[in-house]
Structure 1
Amino acid sequence: HTLIDLYIAWFTLLIPLGQPLKAPPVPFYSNFEVCMSLQPLKMHCKSCALVTSSGHLLGSKQGDRIDETECVIRMNDAPTRGYGKDVGNKTSLRVIAHSSIQRILRNRNELLNMSRGAVFIFWGPSSYMRRDGKGLVYNNLQLMNQILPQLKAYMISRHKMLQFDDLFKRETGKDRKISNTWLSTGWFTMTIALELCDRINVYGMVPPDFCRDPNHLSVPYHYYEPLGPDECTMYISHERGRKGSHHRFITEKRVFENWARTFNIHFFQPDWKPEPLTVNHPEVKPVV
């Protein structure tokens, strides 16, 4: 195994609703449904479609291709209704940030009730996940579990959140807290996908230098918000931001580009693949 294999095996630990915040001796996924015992999430896919929320998917007509994939992974509250021709209709796994949970609840008929058999993984800072009645996300997830008891809902433990931070630091050389960085849902989703999938086809993710091209295509940040902010404007403003916490979208994409040189990751809409490492790209280091 490479070092990154070990990272992935260690860093995707999830803990069940109602369990004490204590990491078990071995890494595994565990379920909200089983409150008194730790049981693993038995999910493995030979091929996965990781569908981003990018405006690059608009007009792509990739829906059928996406739905033909064994497992389809989506993020946050990105809808399929009305966009099926471009993003598909199938959902096997949805990774959801703490900041999206209210939108998930508001749209539960579409995003929860219609996603039969789908797995939902929630992540957030420990203050939102605390179990003493003050954890906003945790309380909402308890309510969600009561309303939809068959829902396959999971959350990432505080211990493993810290290890995701460590992975970011090891791959980028940047301390997340010192650099005022919030890891994106894309970061969690890609890492979890590497654990679950033999092959990952990513739809709608641009290469890290895409926005540096003055003639780059302008698309909305979210395909379902056509009048929302421009994608590259969002990426650049976050990457350059120093006051307050920001996502480092471009930095993360450089890591994903690097991982794709080692793992079975492929990018579509736009279609691209990492260039081979050469002396002209000293800033990019291979995964060890």
Structure 2
Amino acid sequence: MTSITMSRQFQTLLQSSLIFILTFLTFCAFFVSLESQSHTSKNLHISKSQCNAWLTHKKWRSLKLTITKRTKLFVKLEDFFWRKDVSRLPLPYGMKGSELLLLKVLAATANYDMPAHIENLDCRTCVVVGNGFSIKNSSLGRLINTYDVVIRLNDAPVRGYEEDVGNKTTMRIFYPESASSNPRVHNEEDTLMVMVPFKPHDLRWLKEMLYDEKRDSRGFWKPPPLIWLGHRSKVRVLDPYFMHQTAKKLLHIPFPPKIKQNSFQPTTGFLAVFVALNYCDVVHIAGFGYPPKSDQQQPIHYYGSHTMKAMKYSSHNVGREAQALKKLEDSAAITYLHPHL
């Protein structure tokens, strides 16, 4: 083999090596850029420019909800010391007549705040994940997991549905009839289990769980769990203020509410939206919206087999809630993460 041939082969080898190196570097740069874009797009919804934007939005101000961003969501034991007439309304809008039950519950939990790493944020981003069929096949799971606060409802499952609903849960709002026997299955270790007491029986049930007392299933429209494996340090009781304001300011329920056959109360999902509006700077929602009442066979949840037929005797006015959500969306107070009716 001549030196000229060897030289040409060396040049060819060198050129091939350089092409390989350049191709590799270009490939790496592309993926670094792609990853950067991914993080950028992922964080678009948590831009600080959106924080407190609701304060200056004219349409939002026109609703006159007078929200002042209360950061204290849960009832505390000290709220009941040295105070008279803590509330003039009974549950679910106040604690009148249920003070003793509540005191026992609060004494057992001994924790009344949000985690410090969330409480101390300059800008809190929240997503309320509804249980509606509209979130099915949405592939929103990864996006939902990026929010500071993820609020879920009742016993809605997470395992097996992560691609659409994510798996992060900061708070789960529930009541006895909607409780899961083992909250650890579809929640994280640090998930707060937030009780919404609709009636004194709800607080009694929670007391029986916390103190391991004899269970009494009377007074419930559906038997609640007789065994509940929630950790007492993660239990919170939502301040009835939020239920009262949700009903009065958003749904315009007369107060004091009259006990009659066609009376209704806010759903836990609609309540959760109002809680988020009070606590968070950016509020997004997913999984909200009911199909038309005319379609009685349409599934209403992203899980299970319940259809609109099950809503026939509901104590909730889903039509009025849909109108209220539309107003909140039009006023830029909330943003949907997926197309909706």
2:206 to 110, 123, 137: 137
The answer to whether residue 330 in structure 2 is matched with residue 261 in structure 1 is yes
What letter matches 2:133 in structure 1? Answer: G
- What's the C-alpha RMSD, in Å, of the aligned pairs? 3.8
In structure 1, the partner of 2:292 is 211
Instruction: Choose from 227, 232, 235 the match for 1:153.
Output: 235
1:98 aligns to 2:176 (yes or no): yes
Whole-angstrom distance in 2 between the partners of 1:64 and 1:147: 26
Following superposition, the deviation at residue 187 of structure 1 comes to 2.3
Q: 2:196 aligns with which of 123, 133, 144?
A: 123
Residue identity (%): 19
Query: Measured at CA, do residues 13 and 61 of structure 1 come closer, stay the same or move farther in structure 2, by a change above 3 Å?
Result: closer
SS at the partner of 2:138?
A: coil
What's the offset of the Cα at 1:5? 3.4
Higher helix share: 2
* Structure 2 unaligned blocks of 5 or more: 1-54, 56-60, 88-104, 213-226
> Given residue 100 of structure 1, which amino acid in structure 2 is its aligned partner?
S
Whether the aligned pair in 2 keeps the contact of 1:17 and 1:142 (CA below 8 Å) is no
Letter in 1 for 2:66: D
Residues 9-51 of structure 1 show CA distances to partners (whole Å, capped at 9, x for unaligned) of: 49x7522479859649xxxxxxx78769785435456222211
Query: Conserved in 2, the CA contact under 8 Å of 1:260 and 1:266?
Result: yes
Runs of 4+ in 1 over 6 A off after TM superposition: 144-147
The yes-or-no answer on 1:187 pairing with 2:270 is: yes
Shift of 1:174: 3.2
Partner Cα distance (1:46, 1:166) in 2: 21
- Residues 100-149 of structure 1 show CA distances to partners (whole Å, capped at 9, x for unaligned) of 12xx2x233313xx51222221112341245xxxx123322455999735
1:52 aligns with 2:134: no
Match of 1:220 in 2: 299
Q: CA deviation at 1:76?
A: 0.7
Q: Which has the larger radius of gyration?
A: 2
Q: Which is further off, 186-195 or 139-148? A: 139-148
Q: 1:218 to 1:58 in 2, by over 3 A?
A: farther
Matched residue pairs, number? Answer: 238
> Contact between 1:17 and 1:35, CA under 8 Å: does it hold in 2?
no
Q: 1:142 to 1:9 in 2, by over 3 A?
A: farther
CA distance in 1, matches of 2:307, 2:250: 28
Amino acid at match of 2:307: D
Aligned with 2:178: secondary structure?
A: helix
Q: For residue 259 of structure 1, report the CA deviation from its aligned partner.
A: 2.2
Task: Say which of 142, 158, 182 aligns to 1:107.
Answer: 182
TM-score by length of 2: 0.58
Please give the alpha-carbon distance, in whole angstroms, between the structure 1 residues aligned to 2:76 and 2:211.
11
**CA, structure 1 residues 33+249, in 2 after alignment: closer, same or farther (shift >3 Å)?**
same
* Amino acid of the structure 1 residue aligned with 2:197: G
Question: Is 2:315 the partner of 1:246?
Answer: yes
Partner of 2:97: none
TM-score by length of 1: 0.67
